[in-house]
Amino acid sequence: MSSPFARPNIPVGPSMSIFDPLFLGIDEFGHPVYLPLIYRNLLIGGEPGAGKSSLLNTIIGTAALCTDVRLCLLDGKLVELGLWKGCADVFVGPDLDLAILTLERLQTVMDNRYTFLDSVRRQKFIPADVFEAILVAIDEIACFSATMGDKKDQERFMVLLRDLVARGRAVGIIVIAATQRPSSDIILPSLRDLFAWRFAGRCTNDVSSDIVLGHGWAAKGYSSNTVDPQNQGCGFLIGEGGTPGLVKAAYLTNEDIIRVADYAAWVRRTRAAKPTTGLRAVA
Ligand SMILES: Nc1ncnc2c1ncn2[C@@H]1O[C@H](COP(=O)(O)OP(=O)(O)OP(=O)(O)O)[C@@H](O)[C@H]1O
Ligand SMILES: [Mg+2]
């Protein structure tokens, strides 16, 4: 059986699409690993310095060059995803109120899209739809769910996030969330299991690795605690009912990111805009 991450047959075209699997890195045999993101979510966990933000940057870099996806970025540290600000419809820094407001807006967009799908008697968003996919990237869930603000607001954030992860996929809302605290108070198994793809960068112990990949994988020999701490960007990737596989993520340097981000921001600024049915329409 071929790997779900095998090289896809993507035709050469004038632009990139979020409907095509994106290049993530290489597996332990040096083969390219591609990740289909549309209709799916991705959870990224790992200890500090494991390479989580770098992986997010690689994914956002690809998405920024796709002409059919809008970016909504939440970065509690401000500088991890900050270079993509010019490409994003919405960029949220360390501001829990704004983060909640943004997730509420996304919830409204999601509900409107479901109403639309209902009206056309369909279950899923398709490339021909007038609205675009939305990539919601969150760097450090815990910043918003455990560090900033009070308990009530943190819980509100988590309720909204869970709803987006659970219902957003079919209407083209893709959530990618990273955490350096893969502990059960931050990532409940019920939330973890909503993420079709999960990437565990190096974790400090088997329990943390299992919290990202799923219970029992460490006992079967798949623990990201075995990843060399010097091998940043390397971790186990598990997808939809499969077995974890080792992946070394592709890496963009700061200069690479600035180059890609400036180009993508220009393309986004200058291309003909679709009717505003996305995030901007509910401002
Ligand atoms: N795929 C990669 N290939 C090579 N080097 C990498 C890769 N990913 C990360 N690194 C290196 O590891 C460093 C730390 O990575 P990164 O900032 O992404 O970690 P992090 O998991 O986000 O850490 P924190 O939890 O502290 O935010 C990077 O500055 C880079 O030097
Ligand atoms: Mg980081």
One-letter amino acid of 132: E
Span 188-247, pLDDT tens digits: 878 888 999 999 999 999 999 999 999 999 999 999 999 999 999 999 999 877 999 999
Burial 211-231 (b: 16+ CB within 10 A, else e): bbbbeebbeeebbbbebeeee
Phi/psi of residue 57, nearest 5 degrees: -65, -40
* HSE-up of residue 11 (Cα within 13 Å, Cβ side): 2
164 CA → ligand 1 middle, Å:
27
Q: Given the CA of residue 25, which atom of ligand 1 is nearest to it?
A: 1
Grouping H, G, I as helix, E, B as strand and the rest as coil, residue 212 is helix
Banded model confidence at residue 5, pLDDT cuts 50, 70, 90: low
Ligand nearest to the CA of 201: 1
* HSE-up of residue 158 (Cα within 13 Å, Cβ side): 21
**What pLDDT does 282 receive?**
43
234 CA → ligand 2 middle, Å:
14
Span 133-186, pLDDT tens digits: 999 999 999 999 999 999 999 999 999 999 999 999 999 999 999 999 888 888
Question: Which string of DSSP letters, residue by residue, matches 163-204?
Answer: HHHHHSGGGTEEEEEEES--STTTS-HHHHTT-SEEEEE--S
Tokens, residue 226: 């075995």
Instruction: Tell me which of 164 and 271 has the higher pLDDT.
Output: 164
Ligand nearest to the CA of 202: 1
Contact 233, 251 (CB under 8 A): yes
User: Is residue 58 in contact with ligand 1, taking CB distance under 6 Å?
Assistant: no
User: Which of 7-11, 142-146, 168-172, 272-276 is predicted most confidently?
Assistant: 168-172
Grouping H, G, I as helix, E, B as strand and the rest as coil, residue 31 is coil
pLDDT at residue 79 above 90?
Answer: yes
139 CA → ligand 2 middle, Å:
7
**What pLDDT does 240 receive?**
74
How far apart CA 48 and CA 51 sit, in angstroms, is 8
Q: In the predicted model, what is the mean pLDDT of residues 64-75?
A: 96
* Domains of the chain (ranges, CATH numbers): 29-282 (3.40.50.300)
Grouping H, G, I as helix, E, B as strand and the rest as coil, residue 48 is coil
User: Is residue 11 in contact with ligand 1, taking CB distance under 6 Å?
Assistant: no
How far apart CA 245 and CA 35 sit, in angstroms, is 13
- How many CB atoms lie under 10 A from the CB of residue 30? 7
Contact 123, 60 (CB under 8 A): no
